[in-house]
Amino acid sequence: MFDKEKDLKNLSVLQKPIRFESRPFEHFAKQLGIDESQTIELIKEYISRGVIRRFAGIVKHDRIGYRFNAMVAFQVESGKCDDAGEVLSAFPYITHCYRRSSFPDWPYNLYAMIHARDNEELEQRINEVKGAICFVSVAVLPTLQEFKKSLFQIPADFRVL
Amino acid sequence: MDKLEKDLLNLVQNDFPLSVHPFEAIGKKLGISEDQCIEILKKLSDSGILRAVRAVINWNSIGYSTMLIGMKVQPNNIAEVAEELQHIDEITHNYSREGELNLWFTLIYSSANQKDILLERLRKMRGVIDIKEFPAEKVYKIGLKLDV
């Protein structure tokens, strides 16, 4: 079994953005009380365990020109949802795609985030996506305003779950 | 942004080297020095284009749960409600959208009880008409990267 308390302690350090300096992992290593190569091995171990999804640069979408986006919610027959989800995931401009629970007054069960550089492109892409899968109904929910986009931090007083 | 900056962004988004001198390794691929690489990344970070280079954690794998919440809020109360959500650490993303449910946010929590208490608090806020919980039943894609 993995030691959850240790994982949370490690991740509360490893979740921080690295500094732009010659040896960026040195800082983590000091905080963890291990050396740099052990730190790097630890990150790799978390990646192989699926605890760290990826270690990479996070670019602000709107700052590289993707200012227009929409969440598109489809109602898809449950037996066809996995196929549709796979088709949607193949579009490079779709960053997130999930099956979610639905409600009688909100029947949509397949969600995709679509990004584009202008409104016309967004319309085009929404139409392209609509043409690619089989669905019963759809709700297009364009983003109006981003109020918050933050990094969740493991609280300092975390308790083992 | 010039070509070099774009190439660099695409590289760090897709394949960040996990080694003692990662910026040297990246620089080599692009034919620039480690110092140049660091300098350009600092500049992209200062200007807000590059949010961070970091580990993206799969919270569900270490006992946390995540949830998408859709809210129906009176249009003239949206800013006020959004402002309140701003200060709640468990809420990481929050967007207003067109449609019946017009405020959407993601929640990270460690117990169902913690989530219920938070949602109960939000339910009582002025202008909040409906709150729907949309747990992910299956993840098909979490990409997070778009070509620069």
Check CB contact under 8 Å for A96 and B58: no
Do A114 and A61 form a contact (C-beta atoms < 8 A)? no
Strands of the A137-149 sheet, one edge to the other: B128-134, B65-73, B103-109, B91-97, A137-149, A68-75, A110-116, A94-100, B136-142
List, as own/partner pairs, every contact residues A119-128 make where C-beta atoms lie below 8 angstroms and the sequence separation is at least 24, other chains included.
A119/A68, A121/A68, A122/A68, A122/A69, A122/A70, A125/A91, A125/A93, A126/A70, A126/A72, A128/A91
Token pair listed for B146:
């778009």
- Per-residue model confidence as pLDDT tens for chain A (161 residues): 578 889 999 999 999 999 999 999 999 999 999 999 999 999 999 999 999 999 999 988 888 888 899 999 999 999 999 999 999 999 999 999 999 999 999 999 999 999 999 999 999 999 999 999 999 999 999 999 999 888 777 765 555 54
Q: Is A96 exposed, middle or buried (0-12, 13-18, 19+ CB in 10 A)?
A: buried
Whole-angstrom distance, CA of residue A101 vs CA of residue A116: 27
Four-point Cα dihedral A85, A88, A91, A94, nearest 10 = -90
Q: Per-residue pLDDT tens, chain B, 148 aa: give them.
A: 899 999 999 999 988 999 999 999 999 999 999 999 999 999 999 999 999 999 999 998 988 999 999 999 999 999 999 999 999 989 999 999 999 999 999 999 989 999 999 999 999 999 999 999 999 999 999 876 777 7
CB contacts, 8 Å: A148 with chain B: 82, 85-86, 91-94, 105
Q: Is B16 helix (H, G, I), strand (E, B) or coil?
A: coil
Chain A 10-69, CB below 8 Å of chain B: which residues?
A: 11, 14-18, 20-25, 36-37, 40, 43-44, 46, 49-61, 63-64, 66
User: Which member of B16, B95, B135 has the closest CB to residue A145?
Assistant: B95
Q: How many CB atoms lie within 10 A of CB A42?
A: 20
A153 at interface of B, judged by CB pairs closer than 8 A: yes
pLDDT of residue B1: 84
Contact A114, A125 (CB under 8 A): yes
| CB proximity A89 to B under 8 Å | yes
**Cα–Cα distance between B125 and B73 in angstroms, integer?**
10
The answer to whether the CB atoms of A98 and B94 lie below 8 A apart is no
b/e burial code for range B117-146 (CB count within 10 A of at least 16 → b):
ebbeebeeeebbeebbebebeeebbbeebb
Nearest 5 degrees, angle CA A119-CA A123-CA A128?
Answer: 145
Distance, in Å, from the CA atom of B130 to the CA atom of B70, rounded to the nearest integer, reads 8
B134 and A100 Cβ atoms separated by less than 8 Å:
yes
**pTM over the 0.90 mark:** no
**Could you tell me if A18 and B26 are in contact, meaning their C-beta atoms sit under 8 angstroms apart?**
no
Contacts of B86 in chain A (CB under 8 A): 147-148
The span from the CA of A5 to the CA of B133, in Å, is 29
